[in-house]
Every structure is written in C-alpha cells, then in structure tokens.
Amino acid sequence: MNTKTKSDALHSLTPEAEWLLNGDDLTWYSPDIAQPTEQEITDEIARLQADYDAKQYQRDRVYPSIGEQLDMQYWDAVNGTTTWKDAIAQVKADNPKPE
C-alpha cells in the first residue's frame, strides 16, 4: 500500500515552491509562494490518499503489454484461436468492477 505523506501534499499544493522537510519540521525557502497551513496539508494528504485508494481497481487490472496483445491477435488470426480474447476476459474476471 502506498501511504501519502506530508511531502506528497507539499508537492501537490505548491509544485513550484522550494522547501526542506526534516522529519516533521518544514523549512520554507519560497517567500513568494504562500506556505500551506498544517490543516491544508492534512486535507491534501487525505485527498491524495482517497484518490490513490479509488484507483486501486485500475492498478489491479494488469493486462498483458500492448506488444504481447498484438502478438496474440496476430497468432489468433493465423491459427483461428481466441488466445487474446481469453487473456483479456481472464483479467476482467479476476478483477471485477467494484459496485
């Protein structure tokens, strides 16, 4: 599992800012960019984590590479087989959409 951090939130909230995070101590080096409050950072961590968690379904659906799929389709056409359709159907069966 990928847990989002204060660093992730700072990168997301202020991508152009320069700062140093040592443990939980933040040193801000961008006076022209507003430093986020602790509440804004906490809220952004929660938002980033929720977004990451919501996309777990997409990450779990591991399809064969495009090259492998094209090769399967070629050989299916040559041999009259259904290897590609079977492989894709298996990925979908192993990872049903969440309700």
Tens of pLDDT, residue by residue over 23-54, are 999 999 999 999 999 999 999 999 999 999 88
Asked whether residue 1 carries a pLDDT value surpassing 70, the answer given is: no
Asked whether residue 61 carries a pLDDT value surpassing 90, the answer given is: no
Look up the domain containing 73 and give its range: 62-94
Q: For residues 47 and 71, state if they share a domain.
A: no
Confidence of residue 83 (pLDDT cuts 50, 70, 90): very high
Asked whether residue 18 carries a pLDDT value surpassing 90, the answer given is: yes
The pTM of the full predicted model, rounded to 2 decimals, is: 0.62
Terminal-to-terminal C-alpha distance of the chain: 21
39 inside domain: yes
89 inside domain: yes
Calpha distance 15→72 (Å, rounded)? 42
Contact 91, 61 (CB under 8 A): yes
Place of tokens 């159907």: 89
C-alpha torsion angle, residues 8, 13, 17, 20 (rounded to 10): -40
Q: For residues 34 and 72, state if they share a domain.
A: no
pLDDT of residue 92: 87
Place of tokens 């995070």: 21
